[in-house]
């Protein structure tokens, strides 16, 4: 019973910390306020996460793992790699739909120089996971590996940039129109589509 309660508290802390970090970044993650929002004492928070860096690294790690799982699920449900590429921006759109939040790792990447090294590692893992998945999808369309890698970086940067623009204007429609312009320009297509 105690183990379940500890796991539940940890999950609540991670959930709320993710929401805060998506809205305010690493620098906006205040541990006392977080403990208050979760309904626990600050000492209990430190029991689960000895430091702010430990908490932020755990949040970013879980976020990166969830992202990879989401992309793998998309791969399984979509009919082909082209469909996966077309649907990829949906994974970033969800944050905007959730209270005009931004991808946690994109937010933290903007604060990169101020992040503890363990958090930097997890932020990079998020980007690497997305880029690897995009590269795999592009190669499945027939694109050569080197070109697919370069295109994967471009897609990741473009979609996360569209999310940033839309958040700054609190306008999800702007995100949609930017993504549509990418589709028209051919950025979200693989080698076999003309």
Instruction: Find out whether 132 and 67 touch, Cβ atoms under 8 Å.
Output: no
Assess if residue 109 is contained within a domain: yes
Assess if residue 27 is contained within a domain: no
Q: How far apart are CA 140 and CA 103, in angstroms?
A: 26
Assess if residue 20 is contained within a domain: no
List the domain range (segments joined by +) for residue 95: 57-185
59 closest CA partner among 118, 8, 101: 118
Tens digits of pLDDT across the chain (194 residues): 455 556 688 999 999 999 998 888 899 999 999 999 999 998 889 899 999 999 999 999 999 999 999 999 999 999 899 999 999 999 999 999 988 888 887 778 888 999 999 999 999 999 999 999 999 999 999 999 999 999 999 999 999 999 999 999 999 999 999 999 999 999 998 875 44
Give me the helix-helix angle, 117-140 and 52-77, nearest 10°: 10
Assess if residue 14 is contained within a domain: no
Rg (CA), the chain: 18
Assess if residue 156 is contained within a domain: yes
Assess if residue 178 is contained within a domain: yes
Instruction: Find out whether 108 and 20 touch, Cβ atoms under 8 Å.
Output: no
* Exposure string for 110-129, b = 16+ CB within 10 A, e = fewer: ebeeebeeebbebbebbbeb
Assess if residue 75 is contained within a domain: yes
Q: What is the pTM of this model?
A: 0.88
* Two tokens, residue 103: 């991808």
Q: How far apart are CA 114 and CA 108, in angstroms?
A: 9
The CATH number that applies at residue 113 is 1.10.357.10
* Two tokens, residue 190: 């693989």
| CA dihedral sign of residues 143, 149, 152, 158 | negative
Assess if residue 23 is contained within a domain: no
Q: How many domains does the chain have?
A: 1
């Amino acid at each position: 019973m105690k183990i379940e309660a500890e796991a539940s508290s940890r999950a609540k802390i991670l959930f709320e910390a993710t929401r805060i970090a998506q809205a305010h970044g690493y620098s906006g993650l205040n541990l006392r306020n977080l403990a208050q929002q979760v309904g626990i004492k600050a000492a209990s928070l430190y029991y689960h996460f000895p430091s702010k860096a430990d908490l932020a690294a755990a949040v970013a790690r879980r976020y990166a793992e969830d992202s990879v799982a989401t992309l793998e699920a998309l791969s399984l449900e979509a009919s082909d790699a082209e469909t996966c590429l077309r649907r990829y921006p949906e994974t970033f759109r969800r944050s905007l739909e959730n209270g005009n939040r931004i991808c946690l790792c994109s937010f933290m990447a903007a604060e990169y120089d101020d992040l503890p090294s363990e958090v930097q590692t997890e932020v990079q893992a998020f980007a690497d996971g997305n880029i690897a998945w995009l590269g795999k999808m592009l190669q499945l369309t027939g694109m050569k590996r080197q070109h697919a890698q370069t295109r994967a970086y471009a897609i990741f940067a473009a979609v996360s940039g569209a999310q940033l623009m839309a958040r700054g204007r609190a306008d999800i429609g702007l995100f949609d129109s930017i993504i549509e312009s990418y589709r028209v320009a051919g950025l979200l297509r693989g080698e076999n589509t003309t």
